[in-house]
Amino acid sequence: MNEQNVSSPVGAFDAAVRGLLNAAGGYAANSSRRFATGEGAFDAANPTIYVLAQCTPDMSPADYRSCLGDVFGLIPQYLSGRQGGRVLGVRCNFRYEVYPFFTGGPSLRLPAPSSPPPPALPPAPVNVTPTATPPGRSKNKTGIAVAIALPIVAAVLVISTVCLCFFFLRKVCLCFLWRRRRPSREQTPSYSTNAEDIESFDSLLIDISTLRSATDNFAESNRLGEGGFGAVYKGVLPDDQEIAVKRLSQSSVQGIQELKNELVLVAKLQHKNLVRLVGVCLQEHEKLLVYEYMPNRSIGTILFDPEKSKELDWGKRVKIINGIARGLQYLHEDSQLKIIHRDLKVSNVLLDSDYTPKISDFGLARLFGGDRSQEIISRVVGTYGYMAPEYAMRGHYSIKSDVFSFGVLILEILTGMRSSGSFNIEQSVDLLSLVWEHWTTGIIVEIMDPSLRGKAPAEQMLKCVHIGLLCVQDNPVDRPMMSTVTSCSAAALPLSRLH
């Protein structure tokens, strides 16, 4: 939690925030989008407060108000006096800041609040001394008693209901509380892989009932495979869009952080060669990520199958190699967030109906910013055989670690052989040593996939092998940047010498 508080009186600021949020919540409850933004004037130190309130469009206005009331109740405990904050619930969320954070004009504007009223006087004591009732006033006396009793009973019921809803919400909802300081224009932007930094989460919520229906209640017949942290299922949404649903195993503890990490990163990334996130569901103890469906599955399901591999002619293999290279270049150099994937392998590259490759599975990815060229991690994760030696042995990782993995991928795609890091040890080889041996002796063609022999231009094939070997050099400094790889692949540029 950021320790910077508002300079204004905390009570007045909190009241202004709550009033503006209530107004925005009321506006959103009556809109078809269940979404509203607002701004309100405050004081000289914080001239304007900006808010956003939203819920899933399928909620009724009454349910929305109830849901917002629950998340608003978290302000005193977590966000009191803070210049900004956000609560993300499963169905509804809000955010407020002292600077504009949403695009477009606000849905509503509120004037500055008036001076705070004086403290309320204690209620006058009720006179219980029996007095004579004037003729015709007995009914009034009964009315007064009822008028006093009803508000008390109603207040008790409301307080009890709010408490029950609050504790229920804490049990069934996975909420992300965050506080982010307004970035200074003089500072270099820094990024975090914490789940609190979700920007595009609001529009990605999908109801659990929709996903159960789409996957036939996660039927075994719709199971596409098993990943490191759970199963993946095929589904069809009501609009006939085909999806792949990654279902985190409920027994997985480590996988929760990977799921949060993937949600934060993939929601921010947009590229032709990266898998697209369709939605997320965090209901009924389920943790689900929803992606576009890739009909041709992963490269590995085709490449290492003796019959299916014949589908991958030379043109398709070059298309796959170039697409992966462009996706990595985007992650390393072109996107706003500089990202190291850390687990690039054949099972994490998916193919659409046109064999366009899509890099997937960002659970182990790391953001990489500033002037740092290398990081050190205490726990090495990933897949052996695709790991760069400096990462596997010393925990040093950089964008050049991904370049090494990409080189292994190239050599697997060209030879049709598994790297020694694959799960099926009996069918794997020390691929790098084998390729290097054939390269240095001038018989590299003999190790190429048999389905390519005589069907691929020899010069192009040698060029691809050369690029692969450049990428898997022991010294990370000698490995090329991905922008260099894409340039060399697209044009007849000279390649570096192997060291």
The candidate with the shortest Cα–Cα distance to 260, out of 237, 230, 289, is 289
- Tell whether 246 is in a known binding site: yes
Alpha helices (H) along 173-250 = 208-214
Catalytic residue check, 474: no
**Structure tokens that stand for 147 in this block:** 């008028």
Are residues 485 and 479 in contact, defined by beta-carbon separation less than 8 angstroms? no
In whole angstroms, what is the distance from residue 318 CA to residue 258 CA?
Answer: 31
The candidate with the shortest Cα–Cα distance to 447, out of 460, 471, 426, 429, is 429
Per DSSP bridges, beta strands 428-429 and 418-419 are parallel
Alpha helices (H) along 121-253 = 138-172, 208-214
Are residues 25 and 68 in contact, defined by beta-carbon separation less than 8 angstroms? yes
DSSP 305: S
Kindly tell me the sign of the dihedral angle through the C-alpha atoms of 59, 61, 63, 68.
positive
**Structure tokens that stand for 97 in this block:** 């800041």
260 burial level (CB within 10 Å; 0-12, 13-18, 19+) = buried
φ/ψ of 362, rounded to 5, equals -100, 20
Alpha helices (H) along 173-222 = 208-214
Which entry of 343, 361, 402, 449 is annotated as an active-site residue?
Answer: 343
Helix (H) or strand (E) holding 54, with range, is strand 48-55
Which residues line the annotated binding site? Answer: 246
Catalytic residues: 343
Which residues line the annotated binding site for ATP? Answer: 246
